[in-house]
Chains A and B, each alone.
Chain A
Amino acid sequence: MVRYVANKLFYMLVSLFILISATFFLMKVIPGDPFMSEKSVPPEIQARLMEQYGLDKPIYQQYFKYLGDIATGDFGISMKHQDQEVSDIIKETFSASLKLGLCAIVVSVIVGIFLGMLAALYHRKLIDNVAMVLAVLGIAVPSFVLASLIQFIFAEKLGWFHVMGFDSPLDYVLPVAALSAQPIAFIARLTRSSMLEVLHADYIKTAKAKGLNWFTIMYRHVIRNGILPVVTYIGPMTANIITGSVVIEQIFGIGGIGKVFVDCITNRDYTMIMGVTIFYGVLLMSARFITDIVYMLVDPRIKLTGGKEG
């Protein structure tokens, strides 16, 4: 077990290093610089800016200096928002994305699993059909269409919610709905099919034959086994949702990290690009890592083999 974890951590570090290096050099290859504008500033001022940010030095020197800086935890100052630290911007905007994302995840998991279970238990009945039609819609309708639609109906026309902003709890409703539609649909379908499989498995028949009551069967056997594929999906989904959805943030005017990521590339805000990339990298890798561990804890088969090795 320990060896397994150490191994994973080591590979994460290696991937991170490759990610940093590749991003750094690719970013420098794109034409332009953080100080470009349609109205060009006098060459002396441009040169001074490049010098102050160390951009006049050869790229390999910039690269090693950057590696040194991040080793000490210094992500530098944004080159576009010149008064602000990269880490502060990430902290502030990520907290918005995180709040929104966590709500969306909780809603997706609860509603998704609930719908999926209902559908499985009432297989081929009305509830099943309704749930699955909703699921197909949820997967098929792109989130920006759904977001614009609910924004138009519930905010612009009905005035129940604000069109944009992120101040009151009510402001969460529409973006969370738009963000979670797809995961809900996906989770519902996953839960339904895996539960159907489990319900027809031999050990459930055995359990029934033993005379266990319905609740115990559901809780001890059906849910625990049926939920496995969902756990696998939750990891990447979490990472995906909390890294911020550019589209949703844009439509609802939310200052999340997704917007920052897109803007910093357009602006050639080098320090910001690197900061957000590393942040995303660590986040995604951790999410996968945690998924692996959780999977081990939930799935008895994996635990067994894992136990033998460690």
Chain B
Amino acid sequence: MRKRKSLLTLLTMLLVVGTVLAGCGSKSDGGNGSKQNTAAAKDQVLHINLSAEPPTFDPALAQDSQAHTVLNMMYEGLVRLDENSQPVPGVAEKWDISSDGLKYVFHLRKDAKWSNGDPVTAKDFVFAWQRVLDPNTVPAPPYAYQLYYIKGAEDYNTKKTTDFSQVGVKATDDYTLEVTLNNPTPYFLGLTSFYTFYPVHQSVKDNPKWAADPKTMITNGPFTMTTWTTGQKIEVDKNPNYWDNKDIKLNKISMSLSNSGATELSSYRSGQLDYAGMPNGEIPTDQIPAIKKEMPDELTMNPVGSIYYYQFNTTAKPFDNAKIRKAFAMSINRQEIVDKVTQGGERPAFGMVPPGIAGAKDEFRTEHKDDYFQENVDEAKKLLQEGMKEEGYTTLPPVKLIYNSSEKHKKIALAVADMWKKNLGVDVQTENQEWGVFLKNRKSLNYQIARAGWNPDYNDPMTFFDLWTSKSGNNDVGFKNKEYDALVNDAFTSADNNKRMDDFAKAETLLVKDQQVLMPIYYYTSVSLQKPNLKGVVKDYAGGVDFTRAYFE
């Protein structure tokens, strides 16, 4: 009896304390927020979170979006992308492009400086690009192939020649850089804003560990790194030697490194972060409805040039039959998936090139509509029957869908499998696999249906098509089609942008309409939260974020 009474006392005490605490909460909350706003405007210190520590700060070795965000603060290429994803002068003040589109002459500005005060010269670019392409660079830069557009670059990188003078990059004087390409590449100019093309200070050749310590990182961008605590925190400060530092209003960008979306969101709500979500983190999807109600003005969901899709293994039964592939692609409800599962304002996809990717004049997706197929359950059922008849099935062989372990992929997979069950009467088994295992199975064609996604490397539809050619190392669907290869090759070598876009449209028709090798699901959006007084954050066509010109009001 006595025991029970003391238990009751304890519980009551807990309740009282809890209520008092909660009461304090709502009061101090409002005060906190406004204080923070004025303080932020005065200090101009931006707080963001990266969901993973960038594996490297060496532009030659970088290959992920976290490194992209940070390197973009610390370096500047020949050009940079403005708020419309158009190339604008960076280190290069102006440039001339020959009429055949093969030769670029970049005129570098004379006031561009490294963070130690040295001038940035054309030789620094030659040095950096040679370093990326040199087969003896340790470790081998994985993105060296981004430079293969340059004449002789691939031969030099794959040791077919050892003579760098054969490669089409020359510094004719300190401030003039001449670049010769293999093919007219309309997107090359924009590509020079990419980190693999950044200049690197020539002192790095004497110090293989230069990128491991902020003290030895000499950079040429708006910010320089001042603090780096492994796994914990990265800070960059405004670089007084940057040529355009009058346009840089932030004094410091402080980056925390938490891989938990929930923690990131909680930090944002508490005012510790000024920005949360894509591209460096992810807002938990189950929180989006609450956020839409709670802070609709701070939430943005802009479309980005990435696509979420399922791919069929065209060498595995029963998906070696195009009609069966079509039946599967036509019998799901994409709108329902984006409305109820992903909830980030994504757009249902019926083609492979997302909106935002440049076409001949406007966006490719505006010039060529993605009406390659429609969702139609009756038609799908009919096609499935026809396909089964062609293959001589009385019942469909068992079908398995694989995806890499993630809460979101799982939800989508379950929803899709459920739609197939309801609409086609087919039982599809879903299986999640650890990332490495998943990649290996996909690459070795050990699957029937697999989840996939693709984000662009540059602003041209080519980045979505060259991976499905017969020779591509990324072609993991077993699709080999001479007509398709010819179309992509034509677009690769042609200088006529109208013709190139027509080629792409034809290639897309083959891939999605005729063959249905891929089952597009939705075009990604970039879901992020941004404090109302934070302005000037720029996102590019691929969802990459540029904080360099951001400021607090």
**What CA separation (Å) do A92 and B233 show in the bound complex?**
12
Q: Which residues of A contact B28 (CB under 8 A)?
A: 158-159
Which residue on chain B has the smallest CB distance to residue A158? Answer: B25
Q: A92 → chain B, closest Cβ, in Å?
A: 4
Which of A30, A157, A163 has the largest count of B CB atoms less than 10 A from its CB?
Answer: A163
Complex CA–CA separation, A155 to B264 (angstroms): 12
Q: Roughly how many angstroms separate A255 CA and B9 CA in the complex, as a whole number?
A: 40
Residue-wise, chain B 126-145 has the 8 Å CB interface mask toward A (1 for contact) of: 00000000010011111111
The residue that A158 contacts in the complex, of B21, B145, B262, with Cβ under 8 A, is B21
Q: Are A166 and B232 in contact (CB under 8 A)?
A: yes
Using Cβ atoms and an 8 Å threshold, which residues of chain B touch A82?
55-56, 58, 61, 139
Q: Which chain B residue shows the least CB distance to A253?
A: B258
- Of residues 96 through 133 on chain A, the ones whose CB sits less than 8 Å from some CB of chain B are 96, 126, 129-130, 133
Chain A interface, number of residues (Cβ within 8 angstroms): 60
Give CA–CA (A43, B55) in the complex, Å.
Answer: 22
Pairwise interchain contact A130-B440, C-beta atoms closer than 8 A: no
Contact: A164 with B272, CB < 8 Å?
Answer: yes
Is A205 interfacial (CB-CB < 8 Å)? no
Q: Is the CB of B443 within 8 A of A40?
A: yes
> Are the C-beta atoms of A39 and B263 separated by less than 8 Å?
no
A157 to B267 alpha-carbon distance, docked (Å)? 11
Task: State which of A45, A49, A252, A260 has its C-beta within 8 Å of the C-beta of B263.
Answer: A252
A233-284: which residues lie under 8 A (CB-CB) from chain B? 250-256, 259-260, 263, 266, 268
In the complex with contacts A41-B142, A157-B25, A157-B29, A84-B267 CB distance below 8 A: no
The residues of A that contact B271 with a CB separation of less than 8 Å are: 159
Q: Which of B29, B139, B157, B259 contacts A53 (CB 8 A)?
A: B139
Minimum CB distance partner of A128 in chain B: B6
Report the minimal beta-carbon distance from B77 to chain A, rounded to whole angstroms. Answer: 20
Does B266 interact with chain A (Cβ within 8 Å)?
Answer: yes
Please report the C-alpha to C-alpha distance between residue A159 and residue B157 in the assembled complex, in whole angstroms: 54
Smallest CB–CB gap between B331 and chain A, Å?
27
Q: Mark B451-486, 1 if CB is under 8 A from A, else 0.
A: 011100100000000000000011000000000000
- A84: chain B residues within 8 A (beta carbon): 212, 230
Instruction: Please name all residues of chain A whose beta carbon is closer than 8 Å to the beta carbon of B32 when the two chains form the complex.
Output: 159
Whether B473 and A40, one on each chain, are in contact in the complex, defined by CB atoms closer than 8 angstroms, is: yes
Query: For B452, what are the chain A residues with a Cβ–Cβ distance below 8 Å?
Result: 38
- The complex places the Cα of A35 from the Cα of B143 at a distance, in Å, of 12
A89 within 8 A of B: yes
Chain B residues within an 8 Å CB radius of A163: 263, 266-267, 270, 272
* A152 is an interface residue with CB less than 8 A from chain B: yes
> For the complex, is A32 an interface residue (Cβ under 8 Å from B)?
yes
Choose among B10, B256, B436 the residue that contacts A32 (Cβ–Cβ < 8 A): B436
Interface string of A37-52 (1 = CB under 8 A from B): 1111111110011001
CB distance from B415 to the nearest CB of A (A): 22
CB distance A156 to B443 under 8 Å?
no
B439 near A52 with CB under 8 A, answer: no
Are A255 and B232 closer than 8 Å at their CB atoms? Answer: yes
B135 to chain A minimum Cβ distance, whole angstroms, is 7
B458 to chain A, nearest CB (A): 13
> Is A83 in the interface zone, CB < 8 Å from B?
yes
How far is it, in angstroms, between the C-alpha of A34 and the C-alpha of B20 when the chains are bound? 51
User: How near does chain B come to A281, taking the closest CB pair, in angstroms?
Assistant: 21
Q: CB-defined interface of B427-445 with A at 8 Å, one 1/0 digit per residue? A: 0000000111101110100
B229 at the interface (CB under 8 A from A): yes
Contact, CB under 8 Å: B474 / A39: yes
Question: A89: nearest residue on chain B (CB-CB)?
Answer: B230
Contact B138 A52 (CB under 8 A): yes
Contacts of A250 in B (CB 8 A): 258-260, 263
Once A38-B453, A81-B55 are accepted as A-B contacts, the answer to whether A153 and B139 lie under 8 Å apart by CB is no
What's the minimum C-beta distance from A307 to chain B, rounded to whole angstroms?
Answer: 46
Contact yes or no, A255 B231, CB < 8 A: yes
Neighbour of B140 across the interface among A30, A52, A157, CB < 8 A: A52
A194 located at the interface, meaning its Cβ lies under 8 Å from any Cβ of chain B in the complex: no
Q: Within the assembled complex, what's the spacing in Å between the Cα atoms of A253 and B231? A: 9
Q: In the bound complex, do residue A83 and residue B56 qualify as a contact, i.e. CB atoms below 8 Å apart?
A: yes
Q: A148-B262, A250-B258, A255-B233 are in contact. Are A157 and B55 (CB under 8 A)?
A: no
Measured between alpha carbons, how far is A167 from B257 in the docked complex, in Å? 13
Q: Is B533 an interface residue (CB 8 A)?
A: no
Which of A30, A49, A255 touches B142 (beta carbons < 8 Å)?
A49
A93 within 8 A of B: yes
Say yes or no: is A151 at the interface (Cβ < 8 Å to chain B): yes
With CB as the reference atom, state the residue of chain A lying closest to B260: A250
> How far in angstroms is the closest Cβ of chain B from A172?
14
Contact B229 A255 (CB under 8 A): yes
- Chain A residue, CB-CB nearest to B148: A42
Chain A residues whose C-beta falls within 8 Å of the C-beta of B454 in the assembled complex: 38
Q: Does A288 interact with chain B (Cβ within 8 Å)?
A: no
In the complex, chain B residues whose CB is within 8 Å of the CB of A80: 55
Contact of A83 among B26, B212, B263 (CB under 8 A): B212
CB distance from A303 to the nearest CB of B (A): 41
Residues in chain A near residue B231, CB distance under 8 A: 89, 92-93, 96, 255-256, 259-260
With A83-B58, A163-B263 already in contact, the answer to whether A36 and B211 are too (CB < 8 A) is no
B531 at the interface (CB under 8 A from A): no
Tell me which residues across on chain A come within 8 A of B439, comparing CB atoms.
32, 36-38
B409: chain A residues at CB < 8 Å are none
A88 to B231, CA, bound (A): 12
**Assembled-state Cα–Cα distance A183/B154 (Å):** 59
Closest-CB distance, B132 to chain A (whole angstroms): 11
Query: Could you say which residues of chain B place their CB within 8 Å of the CB of A37?
Result: 63, 142, 439
B3 on the A face (CB < 8 A): yes
Q: Which residues of B contact A39 (CB under 8 A)?
A: 457, 474
> A310 an interface residue at 8 Å Cβ cutoff?
no
Additional A-B contact list (16), CB under 8 Å, known A158-B24, A159-B29: A33-B436, A36-B436, A44-B157, A81-B56, A82-B55, A82-B56, A82-B58, A83-B61, A83-B211, A88-B230, A163-B272, A166-B232, A255-B230, A259-B231, A260-B231, A266-B434
Q: Which 5 A-B pairs have the closest CB atoms?
A: A255-B231, A32-B436, A253-B258, A255-B232, A157-B25
Chain A interface residues (CB < 8 Å from chain B): 30-33, 35-45, 48-49, 52-53, 80-84, 88-89, 92-93, 96, 126, 129-130, 133, 148, 151-153, 155-159, 162-167, 250-256, 259-260, 263, 266, 268
B interface vs A, CB < 8 Å?
3, 6-7, 9-10, 21-22, 24-26, 28-29, 32, 49, 52-53, 55-58, 61, 63, 135, 138-145, 157-158, 209-212, 229-233, 256-260, 262-263, 266-267, 269-272, 434-437, 439-441, 443, 452-454, 457, 473-474
- Complex A-B: 6 CB contacts under 8 Å: A36-B436, A42-B158, A83-B212, A88-B230, A153-B25, A255-B233
